Amino acid sequence: MPISLVYDPRYHTFQSWASLMCEAYSGQQLQIPSDNEDEWKSWAVGLNAIDIFTNNAIPDPYQFENWQDWAAMVVNVVNQRTEE
Angle at 45 between CA 22 and CA 63, to 5 degrees: 125
pLDDT at 1 exceeding the cut of 50: no
pLDDT, one tens digit per residue, over 24-36 is 888 888 888 888 8
What value does the mean pLDDT of the chain take? 84
pLDDT for res 4: 56
Give dist(CA 1, CA 42) in Å, integer.
27
Give dist(CA 7, CA 71) in Å, integer.
9
Break the chain into its structural domains and give their ranges.
14-78
Query: What single letter denotes the amino acid at residue 82?
Result: T
Q: Which residue has the higher pLDDT, 74 or 5?
A: 74
Give dist(CA 5, CA 44) in Å, integer.
15
